[in-house]
Structure formats: structure tokens, C-alpha cells
């Protein structure tokens, strides 16, 4: 019997303060400004960088080439113009005289402004080979460098400058992005070109600077601006590349910051006017990028506008790391981007609903540059300029955008067409700003405002306490034992029970707190049911706080800082947290100690507030959360009796004196003296929160959401007793509360003596048949019951004469098929798939000992020594995966490796930029059962064809799997499969990571492989026929003509018998046969 649902509770009206009542909505004339005085005062950038001598700038410039090596005659870092170069006032612009921020604000409110289109698409039109990438300078480079498009700014500058010019002149772009998408040390490491990063950025920016100035000189009323493009790198800070360790990462926040900072130096030295962090698939990478940008701007003492562009990867409208568009915006909002938007991944039509949602929530300008549709079967883009204009004009008509451009597949004609279609429409107006509000995020955004209520009907945010060593003995035991997987179940239960925010505290003298915080956060962000909620990073040690922040992609709250460290360090801590975008809990401590009285609470909080909101900190007041110290009542010490009412009164006064701040506290502290009497404790909390939250304005608190009571749910005999104690209304309040506690304990004992209470199952799904329970556990990522359920399934199959392997190939694989179907339908997103795979791993791990015992018994029965077998025999199969030559993208590949590894396949991931020889040699070395090729860029498709050809030449007999963003079933069937496929070793396209397990298991199963391969072969043959048929010129006859060509059928005529049976040699001249050959399969 399921636990009865709680009846809906009536919302309690909240107190409203004068500063809320008197707030006047703010009409914006420009987007929200960064905190620097240069931005707030609109100080024009003088474009003179020669004197920058901070250590990080000097270190970046140490990598610049000599004049003899550089393509430029000088390495200038000054780009200022004479004040009288062009007339004063809009639409004219002169560097050093005018503020870029002011100009862009006016421009984006005057007309929809055009950005450029795809750089890669234009480069591919030149059909450059390896020699072109190398040129003379890199002719002896010790590895292949074709595909490193950013290098062309050095080796083929005329091509890059020509592409810039085409977008500016033919496309009508007013802003041009630099050819620096991968110009970081992290991305260039794949080509061993880390030392070229400064030069790559400088040269690309300078080429853009020069052509922009040339084009502007021809029409000064339309000045052209250089936008320094900062890509996402080929690493993700939020997803583990290791199947066995969800806390593993292949880059750190600090490494990303260092790489991005160096990129900024080169871009700005080369003359960039604006910086854009683009194609964000992992918001943690973006947070590192904006941190680096703002550090550079602080060092350079200039104002350079920042644009930020996210990428939503599928129909779920989420980034690769699982965030919604609103969650993404809330996470980077602290950087005060001048413009935010979406690019890549989707065509304009598919992007529309997500762009609308971003436009609805963004406080700044909004942009979009979509792909030219979705990739076609051959990896190209089919949308014509007219197609792209038709779909993009809807954005302009609806008033969603201020800047538009194109991404993959777009060209100058596409941009020109979009411009012509949209130029008659007005740009998106800046929204009127409502009251300041705390805006947090996990995978999803969470706004703390007047409509925020908890499960008890209070205007109150529940901060879950159970992932706090001080808040849960179970949590402490598990973390000490290192059982992080079980800790995730605790966190998930809190969110399901009504916690809006998850508090994480691992402070303990017997625990390495920094390592524990990092591990917990890195694991928690991979758990969708946990990380959909924002985190409160909670520690008394500031280094632990920072460690947690650097692994969290959302906007978190830090708990806590205080004046007990002195004003100087307090300001340093607060400034650093503001740069990281965190909200902050400020404890009511100062140099003298903890505030206990109302007067001290108010005094310390007001002093802290004044320091925080003023320069140099400039902390957003809505992100300040004061904790005025909830102290324990009912201790028997008289002065403690007023602690509850003093807190309640202090809350109201602090809120009156500190507009827009929030108030929090550890609610369980209040009833600490009544440990073990949960009914009493929750009753005290319910009464306290009614007064503190509804009557005085307390906004949030650390609570056990599952056990919270609304005030009306408190037993009547306890309501008055608890109220007397909380409000200190009677001298004997503590004695009466103690008496009530004793009475409750006696009642509890009586209930125990009344008999054994049946254990209630947590959820109704536990009553399903075992196979359905396993499917449910896989889909929901629930690991709690998977081992006993797997064992029950094993015993059931054994009783029917089956083996442990049948559990995997039957119910478990059926469950993973459901996961794949849901993912394909957009009803599950990537982190959930990973989580499902890890549940599968746990189930398989339970079955392995039984499978091993079965194998040993068979070998012994055959008279063989089971200990002399292959060490790899425990695996379901061995799989090699690689990103092909010329391609450095590996995120999708890593995810496939994780999913297969969780399903008991031994995966050999040999990395990126892998040549055909490396792939095939490794396959032979490891004796793999199947090979997977991955690629994201279009040229990778040709490399896959080459690998298939070579596999055929070398006599391989293993299946070949094809996957990646630009791959398709059609391309695989038409181009790849004919080079290698047979019934023994097919070539199969794998749509996404969730399908990999089904495909591989089908191929490696002796029972299912023949039918599976036959079905695939038939399907691919039909696809090839369909493709080749589409290439023919079709000439249709009229109905009358077709009828006239009809032949009569004489049923009496019988076909003659052949003159001879069997093979017959026919000798003909080759030239006579050529006209009858169908050449389509050869191309």
C-alpha cells in the first residue's frame, strides 16, 4: 500500500516590505552593465595595449613569434585611430574616441544587425589538402595537421582574409567573428601546437581588423567590428570520460581559465572590439571562459563588451551537459553579457521554441546564428539562402533578436538573404526590468521571488539538509566509507521530498574535506535527479567552497563568509565569489564573535551589507543571504529562551534595512535540545517558520523537507505549547514543552507495544513483475534495488532452464532499449542515459560471478583447466573506438565508451586524430570484436570511407560502427558499407550513445546476429536504391502514353528452355561492355 498523498496546502500570505511596494520597474536604455568603472562610465577603450605588463599578459606574449617568423612586418598592439578619422556621433565610430558599448547599444536598438556565417563551410569550399595546411612554415611538422582550420590564419592568411571580406561585403555583416574557434592550448594540444596559440589569435584578429578597416573606409556610416571568437574547447568539465569513475574529468576549471586568458591576450592584441564565448555545450566551460575574460579586462583596465552563445544539442532543448536554456542563462548572467543567444546544433525551425524562451528571460540583447538546416544524409547542409531567410525571418517578425547570423552550412549569400528578409523589422526591445530577484540554477533554473512557496504553503525555500555531515548521521557514515553512489540516493530523495536547493557540507576533522567536496560535486552534477536543483556549497573553509564552485556548472549559493576574518579578507572572499557568479550566505559573525541578540544580529548584517553592495565588491543585493544565527531554545537556561523570538524580530529589521537581501538559517538548530523527539521538533519548526517566514520575511532555511509540517498540521495539543516556547510568551514555556515531549514519547512507546507495523514500500513500482522493475530502474536510474531484482530475475530464468547471460540479453537489454527509445524521442537527455548505463553496470556486476562459475564448470567438465583461460573472457566483448584523422572532437565518443563499458564491454578508446593505420593496428593488437569510428566534422566522413576500404584490403572480419554528428544512416549505407560490409562483418550507423549497446550486443550474439545483419543489409540496400534513384533524371509520360506502351500478355505462350545450363564464358571487348556499367556505386 502506497503512502497517502499529502492534501494540498493553502498558501500563507507573505509580508511585503516598503522597498518592494515602492519599486518602480526600470526601463532600460542599455543592457545591465558589468561592475567595472570603465563599463559603468562608458570609458572608450583607447586600444593601446603596449604597456600591459601584468604577469599573465607577459606570459602569453612570451609565445609570440619573431618579426622574421610572423607574416606581419610588425607586431603592433595599438589600434587607436585619430579622433577626426570620421565625423562624431552615430552612425560613425572611431576607436579610442567612442565607446564600443555605447555604440553597440544604439546599433542593436536601431536595427537588427548582421553577424557573419560559417568559417568552416567557406574553408571547405577551397578543398585544401595537407600541403595547404602546412605551407612552407609547417612542412616538416611531425603529425598530420589537416583539419586545424585555425592554423590557416597563419599558413593561408589570404584565404581567411578573403572569407572575412566576403561576409563583410557580399553578406552585409557588420560584425565579423575571428577564425579562432579552437585557438586555445587545450584544443591545439591535439596538433602539438600549443606554442602557437598567441599567434593564432593575434593573426586571426589582425587579419579581421585590417579588412574591417578597409571596408569601413568605403562606407564610414556602417563601421565594421571584430568579434574575438572563443570556442568551447574539445573538453567538457561536467562529464566524465571514464566509465568506472563518474568523478573523473579530462580538464579542470583552472586549466580552462588559463587557456582562455591566453586566448584573450592574443585576440585583444590583434585588435578585437568585442569578445564572444560561443557554441557552449557545457556551461562550466563557459563559466571558466567568462571568468578568464573578466580577469583579463580587469588586468587591462578596459571595457570590452562580452557576448555569450549557447548550444542546445537536441529536441529536449538542453545543452550537452543537461542544462535548459533558462538554466544556462541563469548560470552566466553574473558576467553581464551585452548579448546572449544560441548558435549551431539545430536549424532555425528547430531552434525557434528555445530561442523564444531565451528571449523571454534575457535581460540583455539576444542573438541567433543557426545552422543552414540539419545535416543531410551526406553530412552537408541543404538549406538555400532563401530557405534560411524564410525560417530566420520568423525570429525578426516576433521581435526575439537584435543580432543574426549563420553557423554550419551558411555562406555570404545566406547572410545576405537573411539581412534582406529581416531588415524591415525592428530589433527586440530591451525588457523592462522587474524587481531584483535571486536567480539560481542547476540543470534547470530556479527563481526566488514573490511566487516561491514550499510544500507546506509557506513563502519559503527549502534547502535540503541531508547531504550535510552535521544534518544526517547516515550521510556522515556513508561519506566516511566512501560510498558516494549511495550518497546520491540521499540527495535525490531530498529533491523528490521538496527541497528546492541541495546543501552540501563535508566538513569533518577525519575527512579530507577538499577532496570529498570535489568528488561529491563532480558526481552529483552527473545525476540529473539531483543536479536539476541548485546547490548550496557549504563549508567553513574557503578553499573547500572554491573547490566545490569550480566543479558546478549552475549558479550556486556559497555558505558562508563572515566578518570574523576581518574586513579586508571578507571583501576579498566576497569579490571572488561574485566573479564566480555565486550567491552568498553571510553569517552574523564579526571580529568579536557570534551575534546572539537581536541588536547584534541587525548591526553585523547591516555592516556586512554596506560593505558588500558598495565598490569594490558591488555584490548584487538580491544574491546576499544573511544567516543571523538560529540558536537553540528550551535548554533550561533563561537567556536562551528569547533566541527564537529575537531571530524572528531581527529578520524583519534586517530586511527593512537591507533591501532585496535574503534571510536563511539552520532551522534544526532551534530544537536541538529535543533530539530523538521528531514530532516535537517538527512541530517547533512549523510554528517557528510560520512566524519567521510568513510574518517577518525569512526566505529560506536548511531543513529536512520530507519531515516538514505546515502549521495547521501540528497536533492541536502541541500548537500552543510550541508557540509559547518559540515566542517566549511564558516563563514556564520550556517546562511545558518538556512535558509535551514526555507525553509524546509515552504515546510512541504505546504504539510500539500495540504490534508490528508493516513496512510500507516506497513506491508502487516495486509491486511490478521483476522484469518491469528492472526496466523501471534503468529508465529512472534507480540503483537502490537493482541487485536483489537482478538476483530474483536470475533465479526465475534459471528455474526455466536459462543462464545468467539470458538476464543480460533479455530483461536488462530490453530496459536499455526503452532508454534508447526515450532518448531518441527527446524524453530523456544525456546525463540520464549515462545514469541508466551505470545502473546496468551494477546489475551486470552482480551476474558476473555466476557467469564465471558457469564457465569454470563447463571447462572442468571438458577436462580443461579454467585458470588457463583468457583474462578477457569475463567481458561481453571487446570494442575499439576512435575519432578519425583530422578530427579532434571526442565528447560523443567518450560517452559511447562510458555506456558500453557500463554494459560489460571492454572498450579500447585510442583517442582523436587517429590515422587509419593506428586504428587497424590497434584493433589487431587488442583482438577486438568490433570497431567504432567517430567524427563531428564533415571531412571525417571521407576518412571513414578510407578506413572501410583499408579494412577490406587487410582482410578484417569484424563489424564496423559509424557514429558522430555529421554521420547518417544514408551516408553509411551509400558511401561506407559498400567498401567493406558483408553478412559476416556489416557496417552499421549508430544514431547515438543510447543505441550503441543494442547494436553491439546484437552483432556479438550468435543467435541474433544473422537476422539482425540481414535486416540491416536489406534496409541499407533500399537506402542505396533510393539514393541512386534520386540522382536519375525523371521524365514522366502522360497516362495515355503509358497505356499505349502497354503490351498484351499471351498466357498460352511458354518461355523456351535454355540451350545450356551452368556457367558460360562470354568473350567480349571491354569497350562494348562499358556503356552497360552502372557507375553510381563507384562514386
One DSSP character per residue, 497-546 reads HT-SEEEEE---TTS-HHHHHHHHHHHHTT-HHHHTS-EEEE-SSHHHHH
H-run or E-run covering 921: helix 916-926
| CA contacts within 13 A on the Cβ side of 60 | 29
- Rounded Cα distance between 565 and 573, Å, is 10
H-run or E-run covering 946: helix 939-953
Catalytic residue among 887, 890, 909, 929: 887
> Is 887 one of the catalytic residues?
yes
C-alpha cell recorded at residue 1077:
556499367
pLDDT of residue 745: 76
- Rounded Cα distance between 952 and 297, Å, is 55
CB proximity list for 364: less than 8 A, separation 6 or greater: 31, 32, 336, 337, 338, 339, 340, 430
Q: Tell me, letter by letter, the H, E, C secondary structure of 262-323.
A: HHHHHHHHCCCCEEEEEEECCHHHHHHHHHHHHHHHHHHCCCCCEEEEECCCCCCCECCCCC
CB proximity list for 853: less than 8 A, separation 6 or greater: none
- Rounded Cα distance between 153 and 210, Å, is 13
Q: What is the mean pLDDT of each run of 10 residues along the chain (1083 residues)?
A: 56 93 95 96 96 95 95 96 96 98 98 96 94 96 95 98 98 97 96 97 98 98 98 92 87 97 98 97 96 97 97 87 94 97 89 95 97 83 93 96 96 97 97 96 95 92 91 89 92 93 89 92 94 95 95 96 94 98 95 90 97 97 96 83 95 97 93 81 94 95 89 89 94 86 78 56 73 88 89 91 82 82 66 74 86 75 68 83 80 76 88 91 95 83 93 95 86 93 93 83 89 93 84 67 77 77 81 73 51
Secondary structure E strands in 628-681: 662-663
pLDDT of residue 1055: 76
Phi, psi for residue 593 in degrees, rounded to 5: 135, -160
Q: 88-103 in b/e burial notation, b at 16+ Cβ within 10 A?
A: eeebbbbbbbbbbbeb
Burial label for 374, CB within 10 Å (0-12, 13-18, 19+), is: middle
**pLDDT tens readout for residues 603-662:** 999 999 999 999 999 999 999 999 999 998 887 778 888 999 999 999 999 999 999 999
pLDDT of residue 3: 44
C-alpha cell recorded at residue 425:
523589422
**pLDDT tens readout for residues 725-734:** 999 999 988 8
Q: Which residue has the cell 548572467?
A: 333
Answer yes or no: are the C-beta atoms of 205 and 229 closer than 8 Å: no
The 8-class DSSP code of residue 381 comes to B
pLDDT of residue 758: 42
Catalytic residue among 334, 367, 580, 889: 889
* Alpha-helix residue ranges (DSSP H) falling in 536-664: 542-549, 567-580, 598-613, 643-657
H-run or E-run covering 558: strand 557-561
Answer yes or no: are the C-beta atoms of 539 and 517 closer than 8 Å: yes
Q: Which residue has the cell 584573450?
A: 264
pLDDT of residue 827: 64
Give DSSP secondary structure letters for 767-835: GS-HHHHHHHHHHHT--TTHHHHHHHHHHHHHHTT--HHHHIIIIIHHHHHHHHHHHHTTSS-HHHHHH
pLDDT of residue 1044: 80
- Rounded Cα distance between 690 and 648, Å, is 10
C-alpha cell recorded at residue 935:
567524427
> Is 889 one of the catalytic residues?
yes
Residue 530 vs residues 443, 499, 522, 557, 961: alpha-carbon distances, Å = 9, 10, 12, 16, 34
Residue 186 vs residues 238, 255, 947: alpha-carbon distances, Å = 16, 8, 27
CB proximity list for 799: less than 8 A, separation 6 or greater: none
H-run or E-run covering 908: strand 905-909
Dihedral sign for Cα atoms in the order 642, 643, 648, 653: positive
- Rounded Cα distance between 107 and 91, Å, is 8
> Is 240 one of the catalytic residues?
no
pLDDT of residue 118: 95
Q: 51-85 in b/e burial notation, b at 16+ Cβ within 10 A?
A: ebeeebbeebbebbbeeeebeeeebebebbeeeeb
pLDDT of residue 219: 97
pLDDT of residue 123: 96
Catalytic residue among 238, 668, 836, 940: 940
pLDDT of residue 1032: 62
β-partners of residue 406 are 370
Collapsing DSSP states into helix, strand and coil, what is residue 626?
strand
- CA distance from start to end of the chain: 65
- Rounded Cα distance between 248 and 567, Å, is 38
The 8-class DSSP code of residue 30 comes to S
- Rounded Cα distance between 215 and 205, Å, is 15
The 8-class DSSP code of residue 668 comes to G
Collapsing DSSP states into helix, strand and coil, what is residue 561?
strand
Q: Which residue has the cell 545591465?
A: 32
- Rounded Cα distance between 721 and 730, Å, is 10
H-run or E-run covering 405: strand 403-406
Phi, psi for residue 779 in degrees, rounded to 5: -65, -40
The 8-class DSSP code of residue 849 comes to H
C-alpha cell recorded at residue 623:
544574491
The 8-class DSSP code of residue 711 comes to G
β-partners of residue 883 are 934
CB atoms closer than 10 angstroms to residue 1009: 17
C-alpha cell recorded at residue 830:
544525456
pLDDT of residue 757: 41
CB atoms closer than 10 angstroms to residue 20: 15
Amino acid at each position: 500500500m502506497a503512502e497517502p498523498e499529502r492534501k494540498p496546502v493553502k498558501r500563507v500570505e507573505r509580508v511585503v516590505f516598503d522597498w518592494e511596494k515602492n519599486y518602480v520597474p526600470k526601463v532600460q536604455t542599455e543592457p545591465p552593465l558589468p561592475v567595472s568603472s570603465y563599463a559603468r562610465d562608458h570609458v572608450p577603450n583607447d586600444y593601446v595595449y603596449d604597456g600591459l605588463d601584468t604577469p599573465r599578459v607577459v606570459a602569453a606574449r612570451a609565445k609570440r613569434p619573431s618579426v622574421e617568423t610572423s607574416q606581419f612586418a610588425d607586431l603592433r598592439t595599438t589600434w587607436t585611430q585619430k579622433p577626426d578619422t570620421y565625423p562624431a556621433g552615430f552612425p560613425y565610430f572611431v576607436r579610442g574616441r567612442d565607446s564600443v558599448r555605447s555604440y553597440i547599444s544604439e546599433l542593436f536598438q536601431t536595427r537588427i544587425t548582421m553577424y557573419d556565417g560559417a568559417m568552416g563551410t567557406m574553408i571547405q569550399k577551397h578543398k585544401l589538402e595537407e600541403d595547404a595546411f602546412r605551407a612552407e612554415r609547417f612542412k616538416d611538422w611531425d603529425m598530420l595537421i589537416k583539419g586545424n582550420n585555425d592554423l590557416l590564419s597563419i599558413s593561408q592568411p589570404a584565404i581567411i582574409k578573403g572569407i572575412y571580406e566576403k561576409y563583410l561585403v557580399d553578406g552585409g555583416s557588420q560584425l565579423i567573428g575571428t577564425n579562432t574557434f579552437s585557438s586555445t592550448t587545450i584544443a591545439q594540444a591535439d596538433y602539438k601546437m600549443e606554442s602557437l596559440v598567441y599567434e593564432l589569435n593575434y593573426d586571426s584578429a589582425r587579419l579581421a581588423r585590417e579588412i574591417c578597416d578597409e571596408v569601413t573606409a568605403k562606407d564610414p556610416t556602417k563601421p565594421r567590428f571584430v568579434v574575438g571568437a572563443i570556442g568551447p574547447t574539445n573538453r567538457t568539465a561536467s562529464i566524465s570520460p571514464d566509465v568506472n569513475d563518474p568523478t573523473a574529468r579530462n580538464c579542470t576549471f583552472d586549466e580552462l581559465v588559463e587557456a582562455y586568458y591566453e586566448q584573450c591576450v592574443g585576440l585583444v592584441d590583434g585588435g578585437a572590439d568585442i569578445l564572444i564565448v560561443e557554441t557552449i555545450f557545457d556551461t562550466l566551460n563557459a563559466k571558466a571562459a567568462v571568468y578568464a575574460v573578466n580577469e583579463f579586462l580587469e588586468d587591462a583596465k578596459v571595457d570590452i563588451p562580452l557576448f555569450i552563445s549557447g548550444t542546445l544539442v537536441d529536441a529536449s532543448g538542453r545543452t550537452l551537459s543537461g542544462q535548459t536554456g533558462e538554466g544556462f542563462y541563469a548560470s552566466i548572467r553574473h558576467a553581464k553579457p551585452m548579448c546572449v543567444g544560441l548558435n549551431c546544433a539545430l536549424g532555425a525551425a528547430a531552434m525557434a521554441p528555445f530561442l523564444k524562451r531565451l528571449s523571454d528571460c534575457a535581460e540583455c540583447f539576444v542573438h541567433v546564428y543557426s545552422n543552414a538546416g540539419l545535416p543531410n544524409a551526406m553530412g552537408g547542409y541543404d538549406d538555400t539562402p532563401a530557405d534560411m531567410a524564410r525560417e530566420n525571418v520568423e525570429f525578426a517578425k516576433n521581435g526575439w533578436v537584435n543580432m543574426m547570423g549563420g553557423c554550419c552550412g551558411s555562406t555570404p549569400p545566406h547572410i545576405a538573404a537573411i539581412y534582406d528578409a529581416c531588415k524591415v523589422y525592428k530589433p527586440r526591445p530591451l525588457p523592462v526590468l522587474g524587481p531584483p530577484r535571486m536567480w539560481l540554477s542547476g540543470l534547470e533554473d530556479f527563481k526566488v521571488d514573490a511566487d516561491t512557496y514550499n510544500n507546506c504553503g509557506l513563502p519559503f525555500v527549502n534547502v535540503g539538509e541531508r547531504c550535510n555531515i552535521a544534518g544526517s548521521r547516515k550521510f556522515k557514515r556513508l561519506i566516511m566509507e566512501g560510498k558516494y553512489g549511495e550518497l546520491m540516493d540521499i540527495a535525490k530523495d531530498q529533491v523528490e521530498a521538496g527541497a528546492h536547493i541541495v546543501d552540501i557540507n563535508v566538513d569533518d576533522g577525519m575527512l579530507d574535506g577538499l577532496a570529498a567536496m570535489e568528488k561529491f560535486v563532480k558526481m552529483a552534477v552527473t545525476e540529473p535527479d539531483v543536479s536539476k536543483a541548485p546547490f548550496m556549497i557549504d563549508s567553513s573553509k574557503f578553499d573547500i567552497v572554491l573547490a566545490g564552485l569550480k566543479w558546478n556548472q549552475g549558479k550556486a549559493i556559497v555558505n558562508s563568509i563572515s566578518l570574523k576574518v576581518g574586513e579586508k579578507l571578507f571583501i576579498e572572499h566576497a569579490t571572488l565569489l561574485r566573479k564566480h557568479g555565486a550567491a552568498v550566505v553571510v553569517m552574523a559573525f564579526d571580529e568579536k564573535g557570534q551575534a546572539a541578540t537581536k541588536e547584534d544580529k541587525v548591526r553585523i548584517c547591516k555592516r556586512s551589507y554596506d560593505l558588500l553592495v558598495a565598490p569594490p565588491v558591488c555584490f548584487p543585493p538580491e544574491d546576499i543571504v544573511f544567516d543571523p544565527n538560529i540558536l537553540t531554545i528550551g535548554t533550561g537556561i533563561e537567556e536562551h529562551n528569547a533566541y527564537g523570538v529575537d531571530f524572528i524580530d531581527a529578520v524583519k529589521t534586517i530586511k527593512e534595512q537591507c533591501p532585496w537581501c535574503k534571510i536563511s538559517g539552520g532551522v534544526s538548530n532551534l530544537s536541538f535540545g529535543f533530539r530523538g523527539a521528531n514530532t516535537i521538533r517538527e512541530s517547533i519548526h512549523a510554528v517557528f517558520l510560520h512566524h519567521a517566514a510568513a510574518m517577518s520575511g525569512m526566505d529560506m532555511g536548511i531543513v529536512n523537507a520530507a519531515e516538514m509540517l505546515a502549521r495547521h498540521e501540528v497536533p492541536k495539543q502541541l500548537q500552543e505549547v510550541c508557540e509559547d516556547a518559540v515566542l517566549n510568551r511564558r516563563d514556564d514555556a520550556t517546562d511545558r514543552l518538556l512535558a509535551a515531549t514526555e507525553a509524546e514519547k509515552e504515546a510512541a512507546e504505546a504504539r510500539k507495544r500495540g504490534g508490528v507495523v508493516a513496512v510500507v514500500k516506497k513506491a508502487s513500482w516495486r509491486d511490478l513483475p521483476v522484469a518491469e522493475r528492472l526496466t523501471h530502474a534503468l529508465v529512472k536510474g534507480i540503483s537502490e534495488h537493482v541487485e536483489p531484482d537482478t538476483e530474483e530475475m536470475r533465479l526465475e530464468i534459471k528455474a526455466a532452464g536459462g543462464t545468467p547471460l539470458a538476464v543480460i540479453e533479455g530483461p536488462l537489454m530490453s530496459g536499455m532499449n526503452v532508454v534508447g527509445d526515450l532518448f531518441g524521442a527527446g524524453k530523456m537527455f544525456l546525463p540520464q542515459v549515462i545514469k541508466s548505463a551505470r545502473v546496468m553496470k551494477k546489475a551486470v556486476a552482480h551476474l558476473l560471478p555466476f557467469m564465471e562459475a558457469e564457465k569454470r564448470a563447463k571447462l572442468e567438465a571438458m577436462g580443461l583447466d579454467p585458470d588457463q583461460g583468457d583474462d578477457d573472457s569475463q567481458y561481453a566483448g571487446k570494442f575499439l573506438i576512435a575519432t578519425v584523422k583530422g578530427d579532434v572532437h571526442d565528447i560523443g565518443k567518450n560517452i559511447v565508451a562510458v555506456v558500453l563499458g557500463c554494459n560489460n564491454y571492454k572498450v579500447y578508446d585510442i583517442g582523436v586524430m587517429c590515422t587509419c593505420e593506428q586504428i587497424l593496428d590497434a584493433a589487431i593488437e587488442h583482438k577486438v570484436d568490433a570497431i567504432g569510428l567517430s567524427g563531428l566534422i564533415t571531412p571525417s566522413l571521407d576518412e571513414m570511407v578510407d578506413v572501410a576500404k583499408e579494412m577490406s584490403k587487410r582482410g578484417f572480419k569484424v563489424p564496423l560502427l559509424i557514429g558522430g554528428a555529421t554521420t547518417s544512416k544514408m551516408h553509411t549505407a551509400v558511401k561506407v558499407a559498400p567498401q567493406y560490409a558483408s553478412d559476416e562483418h556489416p557496417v552499421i550507423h549508430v544514431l547515438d550513445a543510447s543505441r550503441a549497446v543494442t547494436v553491439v550486443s546484437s552483432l556479438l550474439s550468435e543467435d541474433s546476429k544473422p537476422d539482425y545483419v540481414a535486416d540491416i543489409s536489406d534496409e541499407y540496400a533500399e537506402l542505396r536504391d533510393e539514393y541512386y534513384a534520386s540522382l536519375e533524371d525523371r521524365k514522366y509520360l502522360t497516362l495515355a502514353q503509358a497505356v499505349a506502351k502497354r503490351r498484351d500478355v499471351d498466357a498460352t505462350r511458354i518461355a523456351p528452355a535454355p540451350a545450356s545450363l551452368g556457367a558460360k564464358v562470354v568473350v567480349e571487348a571491354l569497350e562494348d561492355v562499358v556503356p552497360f556499367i552502372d557507375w553510381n556505386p563507384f562514386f
